Amino acid sequence: MSVRLDVPVLAGDLVRLEPLAMRHAPDLAEAAEEDRSSYDFTLVPRAHQMLDYLAAQLARDGLTPFAQVRLSDGKAVGCTGLWDPRKWPDRAGLRAIEIGFTWLAASAQGTGINAEAKLLLLSYAFDVLGVARVDLKTDARNHRCRRALERLGIPFEGVLRAWSMSWARGEEGKVRDSAMFAVVAEDWPTVKPVLQARLTAATSRSPAL
């Protein structure tokens, strides 16, 4: 059985990743009710569902969830997590992990928060946990998310058919094709400066953030 990782608060210049807690519910309920047009393929609860959503995330085996707290105003504006940790078969430590269950309020999208959150999680995974691989996946139809990952320099590996449960409305209980992205340890020295450059560009466009 997977276990939750003991990850400290991860802080950058735009966002602080805090271990998810029920105290984040009011901010996240507000964040989830901003423009929802980018959530067609993403698990994002409605405001009235937030307490149940948080309880489910906190109970989900193998998930270490975070609230994404925007430093400019101290509000939780989304969630993300480290998911599905896989161990080495013959020695201690983790072999691989996934970044998943990610969403951001519309007002936080395009501000650099996503890039910095990915940078913080990838840095922790490679530089602290010492993993060989970090996965990221999305619904193959989610071209917005796929473009965002490509802009961050995350290598695309292909589409696995009927790989994951669908989060699309009206597809409850069905499976989806998943577009698979990953960074392996050999990629990290190349991917890291791309993420840093994206973050620099975002902050130069939005100095208040």
Per-residue model confidence as pLDDT tens digits over 103-115: 999 999 999 999 9
What percent of the chain clears pLDDT 90, i.e. is strictly above it? 87
CA dist 62 and 56 (Å) reads: 12
Of the candidates 56, 4, 51, 45, the one whose C-alpha atom is nearest the C-alpha of residue 24 is 51
SS3 20: coil
Between residues 86 and 206, which one has the greater pLDDT? Answer: 86
pLDDT tier for residue 29 given thresholds of 50, 70 and 90: very high
Least confident span in 8-12, 27-31, 202-206:
202-206
10-205: in CATH 3.40.630.30: yes
SS3 186: coil
Per-residue model confidence as pLDDT tens digits over 130-161: 999 999 999 999 999 999 999 999 999 999 99
76 has which bridge partners?
69
Between residues 34 and 167, which one has the greater pLDDT? Answer: 34
Q: Where are the alpha helices (DSSP H) in the chain?
A: 25-32, 50-59, 113-123, 143-151, 188-205
What percent of the chain clears pLDDT 70, i.e. is strictly above it? 96
Decide if pLDDT at 208 tops 60.
Answer: no
At 2 the pLDDT is 56
Average pLDDT, the chain: 93
Q: Which two tokens stand for residue 196?
A: 């840093």
